Structure formats: structure tokens, C-alpha cells
Amino acid sequence: MIPPDPIQSHTLRDGDVAITVLSIGCVVQHWHVAGVPVTLGYADPDAYRTNPVAMGALCGRVVNRIRNAEFTLDGQNWLLDANADNHHIHGGTNGFGLSHWSLTPIGDRAVTLRLHSPHLDQGYPGAVDAEVRMTLDGHRLSYDMTVRTDRATPINLAQHLYFNLMGAGDILNHSLQLAASRYTPNGPDLMPTGEIADVAGTRHDFRTPHLLAGADPDRIGWDGNLVLDRTDGPQAEVTAPNGLRLRMWTDQRGLQLYTSNTLGPHADPNDSAAHAPFAGLCLEAQNLPGALSHPHFGSILCTPDHPYRQRLSIEIAP
């Protein structure tokens, strides 16, 4: 049996911030601010080889769900890996978030990760080359993601960090504000219905800050996409009782809000909160989910003439 590729790691440091990045899945294993562990993770890097909840990973080729694990492109039907009942999620069983990337440190404050995904990987057409550069500047971590392909293929990446700014307990005492006046409703199967609806009068209205506990007294949680109103940011802001504040800037149209409603233990956690429902808050910047079924959501096709690019910055500071 061929042994698996060894997992590399590199820790970015600037002032009171330390962020450890792994070569498996572009994972952020640790993120500390002034000694507080602000993201969930696993203590053992090897646990990320099977990572069932995309913990800290970069998901692709297409994050979120693709109905019936298939899509049609230029008259041809493509069958994908069905890893969520009959559907496809987070790029498949061996998608980007579970793949081994090459990792190249760039001093103490940056790292570049690269991945080659061959034609028919997880069922997708086209060979693609992905590159992610992560740079720490003060309290701000920035992602610059690019994907190049030799033929048309869908690409929609998202980081899948689980934030808990308190470093323990749950995130119901966090306050959330989002620059989103619309959202894409889901059906019972968590698939977008194709509608783009107004958040006014719904539980998805975070245009003004809301404490999560107050906005969700029945502990239903959230797992759905909001449509961002602007691309100049910050589009998301989270504050915690300990004074830490998260701000996010993205050039993507959507933001998947997930409050780890069904999170449970997979492996020993790192030094952050124990893994349980509502232990982490995910803010997954991406293009609109369901675009392959609902063309009016906008194209997510990457072509040789139009490479994919996403820029994302996340700042967590006192």
C-alpha cells in the first residue's frame, strides 16, 4: 500500500496573531488572536484526511449542493460523486477540501498552496490548476484564489472556517450583522428553490446587528445563502462578549450562513470549543448556490479564456 502524502504545515505570525495552515485541504487548523483560539479544529492533522464537515477547509470544485449530483453543460450530462444522499456537496468525497495541496511558505506572513485536479475528478469535466495565496497582515487574513482550466467547468470555491470568538462554549452569544437584503430560499432538502426573496420580515434579516440567541430562540439554526448587497465591504461583522470582532470582505455575490446546527465530534478538538451544535459560526463567501440548476443566479463556469478568481479577507481583532 502506498502511504499517504505527508501533511505539511506552516504558521503565519504577525503581532498577537498566529494561524496554522495545512497542506491537506488548505485547512486552517489553528487561528489564535491574543491567545484566544477563534476557530474550531482538530488537534491531529491526520484527522483532516477524512474531515466529514469541511472543518477549516477550502471547498470545491463547487461548494454547496448540486441536485441529484449531475448537471448539463453544452448538451452533455455530467454525473458527479453523490456524497450527500443522492446529491453532491463541497466538491465530492475527494474534493478540494480533502485533497493534498503543495504548500510553499513565503516568510512568516504568507503561504501559497497549489492543486492539480485532473479531468473527471469527482466527475467534473476539465483538468484544472488551483492556487491559493494566504497572507496575514496584522489581524487580517486574505485569500487570493485562482483556478485555470483546459475546458469549461463549474467552479465555486468557499472557505469553511468555523468561528467561535470566545474560544469555548457556543456562538449564541455572538452578534451578527450582514449587508444582505435578499436571500435564496431552500426547499426541505436544503436545495435552493430558484427564488431570490427579500429578507424583510424573515429570520434571515441581519441588516442590523442581532444576537444569535435572540434571533433564534427555538435553536433552529441557519444553513442558507444570503445575497450580498455590495462588494466593497465589510459585508459581515460578528462581535463577541470578550470584545473580539470579526469583519469580512468578499468579492462574491453570496454568503452561506451556517451555525453548525448538526455538528458533532469526529476527532479530538484543538484548543478551541468542543464540537457540538452551535459551537461554530460559518460565513462561506461564494457565488450563489444552485446556479447550475437556476441560470438566473449567474454563471459559475470557468473557461480557458475566463479563469476563476476570488478574493476574501477576514479580520479578527480586539
Which residues of the chain fall below pLDDT 70?
1
Residue 226 lies in a domain: no
* Cα–Cα nearest to 64, from 264, 290, 315, 292: 290
* Domain assignment present for 4: no
Domain enclosing residue 290, as ranges: 9-170+262-317
Residue 305 lies in a domain: yes
Q: Which pLDDT does position 231 carry in this prediction?
A: 73
pLDDT tens by residue, 97-140: 999 999 999 999 999 999 999 999 999 999 999 999 999 999 99
What pLDDT does residue 88 have?
97
| Cα-Cα-Cα-Cα dihedral sign, residues 167, 244, 29, 97 | positive
C-alpha cell at position 303 = 473557461
pLDDT at 3: 74
Interacting residues of 245 by C-beta distance below 8 A, sequence separation 6+ = 165, 237, 238, 239, 316, 317, 318
Q: What is the pLDDT of residue 233?
A: 78
Does the residue 241 lie in any domain? no
The model carries a pTM of 0.97
CATH code for position 294: 2.70.98.10
pLDDT at 173: 98
Closest CA to 113 of 178, 23, 180, 202: 23
pLDDT at 230: 80
**What domain count does the chain have?**
1
